[in-house]
Amino acid sequence: MKAFVIERYGAEDGGRVTETPDPRVGATDVLVRIHAASVNPLDSRIRDGDFKRILPYRPPLVLGNDFAGVVVRVGSAVTQFSVGDEVFARPDKDRIGAFAELIAVHQDNLALKPASLTMTEAASLPLVALTSWQALVEKARVRPGQKVLIHGGSGGVGTIALQLARQLGAHVATTASAANTDLVKDLGADVVIDYRTQDFEELLDGYDTVLDTRGGETLEKSLRVLKPGGTVISLAGPPDADFARELGANPLLRQAMKALSLKTRRHAKRRGVTYSFLFMKASGDQLRDITRLVDAGEIRPVVDRVFPFERTREAMEYVEKGRAKTGKVVVTME
């Protein structure tokens, strides 16, 4: 099959399309012919080796973290899917490889594609929708009337998190450029902070939850807009001990991760709030919950641009350089 492969870690290896062996299909696996896959900042971070000490990636490596396609074979123990099913997924972190013609995925990580979406639209959803669900539903347990701040409302995660927060009944604030104000309001934002001209820390306070997609100074300021007992859930801040436990990391690595987030956790504790790091997990069950919201018209994907598979490297560069203005970038196999 054709796949987009990196031969070694580092930004200088932009990757290339080449021939690779077809995936092996285990008893509980589903083999999917990919129609479209989306590009995430995570792909560049994996290529650059940011996770090589904590996740089992070893070059040569096929990148790609979510997709939509059609089932072409099922393992002997598969009970949930049949050949011909249209599906979408974020494969488990140990089995990425969506920038390819074929992928084998455990049946528990797969879900039927929303009937209301095209393959391209569906491919844009799994990683960002699961991230939003696990942040707002699982970790924050957002309830009607609570105040939620979502950074980067026009981005991949932001466009879905805004819609989910609105569906959960929250009062939602977001940061975005002035050019995207109408978009984020349409997606669910009650308050829009122009990050170029306004300081959200000076305008917001008393928030129950902040979803941080930026890290750094944005994370530090986010601690200060929370009410006592509130929480910042970060996708870009330092990993914490809970993440290490989820990985099954050894005691030494657990201590190292705990140390990385020590300063942030101390700042949070002094303010009577909490800090939590999120690295989303694959889940077919949660994708089915998300599908119901999509087909009910509560959540819609936002796609910035579509590239053909042969231009995957260009698609990654487009995302890395911040050229995507709203939502997701997708590569199509057709």
192-218 pLDDT, tens digit per residue, is: 999 999 999 999 999 999 999 999 999
Q: How far apart are CA 305 and CA 118, in angstroms?
A: 14
Average pLDDT, the chain: 95
The class (CATH top level) of 2-125+302-332 is alpha beta
Place of tokens 């393992």: 75
Q: What is the pLDDT of residue 11?
A: 74
Under 8 Å between Cβ of 171 and 208? no
User: One fold for both 2-125+302-332 and 127-277?
Assistant: no
Which residues are bridge partners to 87 per DSSP? 69, 112
Strand (E) or helix (H) holding 255: helix 251-260
What is the DSSP-derived secondary structure letter of residue 126? H
In the chain, domain spans: 2-125+302-332, 127-277
Query: How confident is the model over 162-182, as a mean pLDDT?
Result: 98
Q: What is the pLDDT of residue 140?
A: 98
Q: How far apart are CA 207 and CA 45, in angstroms?
A: 30
Is the confidence at residue 248, as pLDDT, over 80?
no
Check the CA dihedral 160-163-168-170 and report its sign.
positive
3-class SS shares of the chain: helix, strand, coil, % to 5: 35, 25, 40
Q: How far apart are CA 249 and CA 263, in angstroms?
A: 21
Is the confidence at residue 255, as pLDDT, over 90?
no
Does the 127-277 domain belong in CATH 3.40.50.720? yes
Helix pair angle (251-260, 262-270), 10° resolution: 50
Task: Report pLDDT digits (tens) over 47-82.
Answer: 998 888 777 788 999 999 999 999 999 999 999 999
Is the confidence at residue 143, as pLDDT, over 90?
yes
Sorting pLDDT into bands at 50, 70 and 90, what band is 36? Answer: very high
Question: How many Å is the maximal CA-CA distance in the chain?
Answer: 58
Q: What is the pLDDT of residue 182?
A: 98
Query: How confident is the model over 120-128, as a mean pLDDT?
Result: 98
Sorting pLDDT into bands at 50, 70 and 90, what band is 175? Answer: very high
Sorting pLDDT into bands at 50, 70 and 90, what band is 14? Answer: confident
Place of tokens 């696990």: 134
Tokens of residue 1, six digits: 């099959």
